[in-house]
Each structure stands twice: as structure tokens, then as C-alpha cells.
Structure 1
Amino acid sequence: MTTPPGPTLPVQFKVNGEDRRLDLDPRVTLLDALREHLQLTGSKKGCDHGQCGACTVIVNGRRINSCLSLAVMHEGDQITTIEGLGTPDNLHPMQRAFVVHDGYQCGYCTPGQICSAVAVLDEIKDGIPSHATADVTDRPRATADEMRERMSGNICRCGAYSNIIEAMSDVAGTRA
């Protein structure tokens, strides 16, 4: 005997600039809604525990691990995935910098790395301090140490970290 499907809840959000409406089991994560229901497979399921950052997307201008967030919690939110940052013919500056600086090797973590890197530079620009910020009353700067600290939740098993910081520094207009 199979278990009948449970109740669903409607959720509406804007994904990559497009209004989307889904009826979902309330237990579906944002990551699974994006990948399985909207076929946006750029965000990856790495650990499914919020420890690797492969699932990072930008929600209302801030980065989140989409594997740790239920889709129904994002009613009305603006969600940007790697697919919404740029296209092959018109790359986002961070995507272009990752190519120029070889900020990837196998590529599995790259979508999460790029989404996180874009959001990190916005956090710094918005004056949000981190653990690496020497004085939380000063505006943070896009230094290599500052960016490394902020990107520490995104794991690259291939070890392209220095190239990722170079790509971010390039976009930020600083030296790594």
C-alpha cells in the first residue's frame, strides 16, 4: 500500500525576475523546489546539511543555504540563482572573473561560490561587519582576509580558493 500524498501549500515568489507559483508539500526545501519543481539545476545539493555552500542562492539580496530553508518560508521573496546572474552570452562580472582567474576546477561548487561571492561583495559594500572586520564600527573593506572569512561557508574540494579570492578581488577592484 502506498502512502497518499500529503497536503500542499501555495507559495509564490519571484525567481530570477520571473513570478513563480507552486503548490508544494510544506516540507520541500527551497533547493528542491528550485531543482525539482522549477528545473533550475545550477544550485547543487552537496551535503544537504548547510555545511558546504553548494546550494547557495541569493534571497532578497542576501545569501542563504537553500538546503536549510523551506520553500514555503519564501512567500513573496526575490530569489536569484546562478541562472539569474548572467547568460552564456552576457556573463555577470563575477562569472567572467571566475573564468579569467580559473576560480573553479570540477565546477560542482561553482554556482554556490559565485552566488556567495556576489552577495559577499554586496555585504561589504553595505557595511555589514564579519568576524574578520577589525573594528565593527568601521566600514569593512574588500581585503583578501575579509573575503576569505565571509566565503568560509563555501567549500571547494578541489582547492581553488586562491583563484576565487583573485576573481572576487578583480570584481571588487582590489588586489588579492
Structure 2
Amino acid sequence: MKKLILAVWIAMFGMWSAVPEAQALSCAPPRPVNEEMDTSSVVFKGTVIEIRQGGLTVFQVDRAWKGVDGPRVQIYDNGWDPYTKGADYLVFGGQREGQLRTNLCGRTGPWDPARDEAMKGAGIQPAVFQTEQAPVSGTPAEQAGRYTGVLVWTGILLVAISGIVLYRNKKKTT
């Protein structure tokens, strides 16, 4: 019986160690810029000025190669690569599920010299937009109200901790 149990353990370990590493998502190398542009409905370089709930990102567009006719674009991220506010990106996107979304596996990414050269090599002149000053969203009262929830929960937490400390101290003295 012991030999059978040992054999089962060895077989299980052998099968487990022979399993290749699984990856939830891996992308093929990016396609050439012209191919990526052909399959995208928007292509632009812009700065992230606002990140909203649900992955909606607002860009201040600097240059647009395709599908952009104004200085601002709202586009949903692909759920895989989050954006950083204030950073510049080259974005390729299209309509999916009724929304403008960045392409999942493609050339979207932080703007750098390599992306600049790749776009110059595409041979398409971009539309250039004037940089606007991003307005501060909301009135001063609305801006202050954003932190009200945090302050309320901090107060509740402090009261609860104080109550626990007082209860324990009172219990020790009796």
C-alpha cells in the first residue's frame, strides 16, 4: 500500500512539473505601423489629462494621423495597460462594443523616440492640434466635496478605534 501511495505521489509530481507555464494573455509582435493604421479607426499622439471610472481616458491630442477631428479624445483603455495621468502616448484604437477603445495587442504605448521614428516612417503627415490649457473640472465646492467621503470614513474609524481603546482600558481597571 505504501508503494502505491508513493507511486501516486511521484506520478502527480511528475505531471505537475511537466506542465508548461500558462499565460493569461500574450501578444504577437506588433504589426508594421501601416497595417496597424489600416485596422484602427483612430491614431493619435496625446497627453492623458483625465482618467475616469470604467477605464475611460481623456487625451489632449497633439498630433493625429487618423480619425481625430478635435483636440480632445475620450477613449476606453483595453483593460490591460493602464494609462498614467500627464504622460504622452501614441494611441491606436477602434470601435468595439459600441465604444472607442484602444487596441489590445498593438502599437499603443508611451511616446518615445522609437514610436516617433515609426510614425515618421509611415509616410503620413499628422494633423497638429494647438495645446489647450486643461480646465479644472468642477467648482471649488465640488472639488472640496470629493474628499468629504474620505473625511467621514476617517472620522468614523477614529471614533471606533477610540471606543475600543477606552473599552479595553475600562475593562482592565475593573
TM-score by length of 1: 0.21
TM-score by length of 2: 0.21
